């Protein structure tokens, strides 16, 4: 018999659960000084455990933390990546490299290594410890005038290629985590952006809006922005 308490592990990728809370300051003020101190110590211990392990727990501050929003998705690879055959054609047409030559084989090997790294980072990502985090959900339009899913695959891949080109302009400035949520939540994708300052978040979202994929075919949800802080600084800013 299967263990009912065993974690649900997807066949591919990781679950990605975004949880957002607000502090009920009226409830917080009803706690005694000792209760407030105990709650903050408990939260600090849980955060330290989460950072050290893969386990998660409910926060003991939940009595004063009101759920605001949640979003469930899965890490996934893109279906619009360049295929080896396409890259081989590019080598032949743009660099005049012939199949079977040492230069061609070296270029194809380098391409395969890059794509393997790209896929690994999409499905099992390494996230930066940067202070600014932004999350929003999005879906592709299925209207009478603009229907993403009615476009031929090659057209969609070409459009996404241009979309990705804009994103690459922010390499080293913004880290993007794209997760799929079709059938799991209200929208089709979750987008999490990591940056060192809010300017880069604003800039990449603004620049992306002019790309056809966003301008013609994308619908966006609410935007949530947060900053990572040491817990003592977090408590100070929230006046807890």
Active-site amino acid positions: 136
CA 36, 23, 67, 48 torsion-angle sign: negative
Q: Helices marked H in the chain — which ranges?
A: 25-30, 33-52, 84-94, 102-123, 153-168, 198-209, 212-217, 231-238
* DSSP 3-state of 214: helix
* DSSP 3-state of 40: helix
Q: Which of 198, 215, 72 is nearest to 148 (CA)?
A: 215
Token pair in block for residue 71: 């979003």
**How many residues can be counted in the chain?**
240
């Amino acid at each position: 018999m299967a263990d009912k308490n065993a974690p649900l592990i997807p066949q591919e990728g990781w679950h990605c659960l975004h949880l957002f809370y607000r502090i009920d300051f009226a409830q917080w003020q009803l706690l005694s000084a000792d209760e407030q101190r105990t709650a903050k110590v408990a939260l600090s211990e849980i955060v330290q455990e989460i950072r050290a392990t893969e386990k998660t727990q409910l926060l003991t501050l939940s009595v004063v933390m009101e759920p605001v929003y949640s979003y469930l998705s899965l890490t996934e690879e893109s279906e619009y990546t360049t295929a080896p055959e396409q890259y081989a054609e590019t080598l032949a047409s743009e660099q005049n490299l012939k199949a079977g030559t040492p230069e061609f084989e070296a270029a194809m090997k380098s391409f395969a290594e890059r794509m393997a790294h790209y896929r690994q980072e999409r499905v099992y990502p390494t996230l930066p410890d940067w202070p600014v985090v932004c999350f929003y959900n999005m879906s592709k339009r299925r209207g009478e005038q603009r229907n993403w899913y009615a476009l031929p695959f090659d057209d969609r891949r070409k459009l996404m290629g241009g979309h990705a080109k804009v994103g690459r302009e922010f390499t080293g400035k913004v880290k993007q985590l794209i997760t799929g949520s079709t059938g799991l939540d209200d929208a089709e994708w979750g987008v999490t952006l990591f940056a060192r300052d809010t300017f880069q978040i604003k800039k990449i979202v603004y620049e992306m809006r002019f790309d056809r994929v966003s301008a013609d075919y994308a619908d966006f949800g609410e935007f949530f922005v947060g900053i990572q802080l040491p817990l003592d600084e977090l408590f100070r800013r929230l006046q807890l």
